[in-house]
Amino acid sequence: ESKNTILPSSQSKLECYQEILILLWKTLEENPLFLDFILTRCDVCELVVPICYLMYTSRQDASKIGLVHLCTFILLKLSGERSFGVSLNRPFRTKLPCDLPLFSGSHADLVSITLHKMIVNGSYRLVPLYSCFLTVVCNISPYWRSMSLVSSVKLVNLFELFSSPKFLYSGEKAYKHLALLLEIFNNIIQYQYNGNQHLVYAIVRRKDAFGRLASLTLHKAVQQCSKAFPAHLQPEYDADAAEQVAALSIQDVDETGNPIQRADSREDKSSKRADNPAKSWESNEETVVSVGSSVAGVKERFNPSESWLAELRSSLPLETVNRLLQHLVPVVDDMCERQNGVVDETEILEVFKDITMVGLLPVPHAIVIRKYQPNQYTSIWFTAFMWGVVFLRCQQPPIFDLECIQLFQVS
């Protein structure tokens, strides 16, 4: 808003925004009472808008990758609280000085559209944060009362993007992004079906993307993988990011804050971490995300296998979406047939409003919230980022000896 002012001698930009974000993050991390205070006593949406704006405008600036990480950590910390997701349902009416797509919706739509832009039009160095972006949306999805048309289309577009061969076969764990997106859809369908007809209609329109994934066989997977990545090509998108230094862990909890036990063996995972603690990758209990590092070598090429396909099928919760499509696709086809293929979109949305899915969908699953868990890697990264800001802000007059400061190390 300050950039739109015409008052003489007015300050159009607050230069110390990085320091304020660092102070906010450190206070959130160290003082649980402060987190409770801003969620219950303050308008948290006033905090979300500038964070989304900074992320949106910094997505392609290599010098602000650390700032994007910090904003992501703050959103992830906040999204682990139920009251945050509920508060985001407030209407968003602020006009931001950036090329944000026009939409009519809530602050949850602002968060979703911003994070979508970070994925499809952000720096390649933000790839390690993709799981974090989707986790934030997944955490708020059970409380998202009414999703805008823009958000609905963009989320389904993300599903098509991550289910494309270029992404799906870029690494052994690339389907983890699809699992998060499906959980977002399931949360909204199961808990917020009324008011989210735009998302339901977007899913129905892209039914083929879900059908291809549900009917995937090993033969098709091998063919698609070899076509997407010929022998002389390496994947541009590194889904596994196995060479990156772990910097963020996320723990699954239920709505009461109790940790959720998964079927995977903890002994197997703990032994793997003991063998290589700096290269842990995301599991159902822990999603490890890097703050960036250099590639130390050539990544081993991924090839689909029976075990990979079985793991993919067991990890992707497709049943709810499939049940939805089985019931609604015939309804839309019947409408098109009765009106000779000329059906207005608003008519379909009105029909969806009147349809109830009670008794047709699976039993609602438990709401899973993924909370930020601090660890030594995030602590090391945050310390380096904080001192980097201190050093760069203290050039006039120079407080530090420039020859003795090492902001980064080339390995």
Q: Where are the alpha helices (DSSP H) in 121-172?
A: 130-140, 149-163, 165-168
Residues, the chain = 411
The pTM score is 0.82
d(CA 268, CA 272): 6
Q: Write down the residue that tokens 């892209």 correspond to.
A: 206
- Residues 6 or more apart from 172 whose CB is under 8 A from it? 239, 240, 302, 308
d(CA 151, CA 156): 9
Peptide bond between residue 235 and the one before it cis (omega within 30 degrees of 0): no
Instruction: Please give the C-alpha separations between residue 60 and each of 56, 75, 317, in angstroms, as whole numbers.
Output: 9, 19, 33
d(CA 304, CA 306): 7
Task: State pLDDT tens for residues 261-316.
Answer: 654 443 444 444 334 333 333 333 333 333 333 333 445 678 899 999 999 999 99
Predicted pLDDT at 321: 93
Predicted pLDDT at 402: 67
What sign for the dihedral angle of Cα 362, 363, 367, 370? negative
Predicted pLDDT at 246: 34
Predicted pLDDT at 393: 73
Do residues 103 and 146 touch, judged by C-beta distance below 8 A? no
> In terms of Cα–Cα distance, which of 133, 149, 150, 119 is closest to 184?
133
Do residues 25 and 70 touch, judged by C-beta distance below 8 A? yes
- pLDDT (tens, 9 = 90+) of the chain, 411 residues, equals 555 556 666 656 667 788 889 899 989 988 999 999 999 999 999 999 999 999 999 999 888 888 999 999 999 999 999 999 999 999 999 888 888 888 999 999 999 999 999 999 998 889 889 999 999 999 999 999 999 999 999 999 999 999 999 899 988 888 999 999 999 999 999 999 888 999 999 999 999 999 999 999 999 999 998 888 887 666 666 555 533 433 355 777 777 767 776 544 434 444 443 343 333 333 333 333 333 333 334 456 788 999 999 999 999 999 999 999 999 999 888 888 887 777 788 888 888 888 888 888 888 888 888 888 877 777 777 877 877 777 777 777 777 776 776 665 554
Paired tokens of 245: 């230094």
